Amino acid sequence: MPNMGIATKEQLTYIDQTVYDPKVAPLTALDIFNTFQIPETYVSYRYKVRSSKAMAQAYVNRGTDIPVVEEGFKEYETPITQSALACEYSWLELERAQAAKVNLLADQAQLVARGMAERRDRVIFNGEDIGPNTKIVGLTNTHTDLTGFQQINLDGDQALDKLAQDTEDGALKMRKVFQDAVGKITHLVGYATAKPTLLMPQAEIDLLNNPINKYRPDITVMSMISPWFSSIRAIPELEGRYWHRNNASNADKQKDMAIICLTDRDIAGIPIAMQMRQLQQEYHDGVTKIPYVERFGGLAIRYPSAFVQITGINTPNA
């Protein structure tokens, strides 16, 4: 006769009905930069940046060497790329999810939106080769002859993590790094009072919490430089492992980057050809598939000098 006084492990196990989701990295490109609409079938966005020169000089009677104004245009182009991702489920999976009170369709739709946005961030920040002789240039491209960005290199003892180890005046040196970088933007004609945005990996943002010295723990690098910026944002795509080429050395892949930039609508924007759209669902052998697509371009930067890359901000591990 079975012992009815003993409960099984299953009977003594409390089943939590909450489904817990792991934390994910923030999606930032659309929060930082403005977007603008272009026709959905177009394959690229081309724009012109004016360059002009008007230099008057003293004039004498009957002078013949009167200078003239000069005006030109430089043309830029960013390709349009297309993202695609689909939900897929069988009738049995849907039945089981409903029995467990899980909204499978809503969950998968959220995953699709997340996957699309993650690719968008990667393309905006890191660029992408999307076909033969077709490349979207990202913000982490270090070829300034191509991008027109300004650049500061901190390799060696000036790296932020090295300065953070200097408890005497490392914090002030760190402040000077950002002061010089901000100056590259505020010294541009017409931008003396501009407050740019600081983009950095989280590890380097954490270094900004170092106090100026042991006697003033209430004053940090962050508190000293924050008034210069409109915002300070953590960007995972600026970590070296995301933007260095695949065949780069392990040391190079550990080198992070910071970017200081202006984000005004007339300076930079993301062309959107097609917002995320659900296509015709497919059904085959009891499985339903719902594809989604969206079309967008790389960041169209109309004033490249308003972007300053700071490279070598950390020291690679041996």
pLDDT tens per residue, range 76-99: 899 999 999 999 999 999 999 888
Whether residue 179 has pLDDT greater than 80: yes
pLDDT, average across residues 123-139: 89
Whether residue 318 has pLDDT greater than 80: no
Strands (E), 42-166: 44-53, 70-90, 128-131, 134-136, 150-153
Answer whether 235's CB lies under 8 Å from 125's CB: yes
Structure confidence at residue 64 as a pLDDT band (50, 70, 90)? confident
Measured over all CA atoms, what is the biggest interatomic distance in the chain, rounded to whole angstroms?
A: 126
Residue burial 149-180, b: 16+ Cβ < 10 Å; e: rest:
bbbbebeeebbbebbbeeeeebbebbbebbee
pLDDT, average across residues 122-145: 91
**Residue 42 backbone zone (phi > 0: left; psi -120 to 50: alpha; other: beta):** beta
CATH topology of domain 144-265+302-311: hypothetical protein PF0899 fold (3.30.2320)
Structure confidence at residue 74 as a pLDDT band (50, 70, 90)? confident
Structure confidence at residue 277 as a pLDDT band (50, 70, 90)? very high
Q: Give the SS3 label for residue 36.
A: strand
pLDDT, average across residues 52-60: 67
Question: What is the reported pLDDT for 245?
Answer: 75
Whether residue 71 has pLDDT greater than 60: yes
The per-residue pLDDT of the chain, averaged, comes to 88
Of residues 205 and 213, more confidence is placed in 205
Closest by CA to 258, choosing from 203, 217, 209, is: 203
Cα–Cα distance between 61 and 303 in angstroms, integer? 40
Cα–Cα distance between 237 and 260 in angstroms, integer? 14
Domain range summary for the chain, segments of one domain joined by +: 144-265+302-311
Share above pLDDT 70 across residues of the chain, in percent, rounded to a whole number: 89
pLDDT, average across residues 264-277: 96
Interhelix angle for 104-126 vs 91-99, to 10°? 110
Answer whether 241's CB lies under 8 Å from 253's CB: yes
Structure confidence at residue 293 as a pLDDT band (50, 70, 90)? very high
Mode of pairing for the β-strands spanning 197-200 and 231-234 = parallel
Question: What is the reported pLDDT for 35?
Answer: 96
The answer for residues whose C-beta is within 8 angstroms of residue 276's C-beta and 6 or more apart is 112, 113, 116, 292, 293, 294
